[in-house]
């Protein structure tokens, strides 16, 4: 929502907006990896559980948003 606002008000270039859209899925995968490392190696700490859940939530949101954006691009380019 903030990114769309910045793009519409011309505070963010179209090129940078497109780059951010393409980085959503890798960012989601990275946050999933961080959460798995936290839950695997730091399971004895209570805060590690909180941060693992936080990063899993970020991963879910980033991956779904990335798939939505990429599906629009695929439909536009008729890849599927």
Q: What is the domain range of residue 51?
A: 43-80
**Is 22 part of a structural domain of the chain?**
no
**Is 35 part of a structural domain of the chain?**
no
**Is 76 part of a structural domain of the chain?**
yes
The two tokens of residue 14 are: 């179209």
**Is 48 part of a structural domain of the chain?**
yes
**Is 77 part of a structural domain of the chain?**
yes
User: pLDDT digits over 7-61, tens only?
Assistant: 778 777 778 777 777 888 899 999 999 999 999 999 888 899 999 999 999 999 9
Tell me the H-state helices in the chain. 2-8, 14-22, 24-41, 46-77
**Is 34 part of a structural domain of the chain?**
no
The pTM of this model reads 0.74
Burial class, 59, CB count within 10 angstroms (exposed 0-12 / middle 13-18 / buried 19+): buried
| Domain count for the chain | 1
**Is 7 part of a structural domain of the chain?**
no
3-state class of 44 per DSSP?
coil
**Is 62 part of a structural domain of the chain?**
yes
Pick the more confident residue, 76 or 3.
76
How distant, in Å, are the alpha carbons of 4, 68, 70, 71, 75 from that of 79?
25, 15, 11, 9, 7
């Amino acid at each position: 929502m903030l990114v769309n606002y910045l793009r519409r008000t011309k505070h963010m270039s179209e090129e940078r907006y497109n780059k951010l859209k393409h980085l959503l899925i890798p960012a989601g995968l990275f946050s999933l990896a961080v959460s798995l490392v936290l839950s695997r190696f730091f399971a004895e700490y209570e805060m590690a559980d909180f941060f693992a859940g936080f990063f899993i939530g970020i991963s879910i949101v980033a991956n779904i948003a990335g798939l939505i954006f990429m599906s629009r691009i695929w439909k536009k380019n008729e890849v599927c």
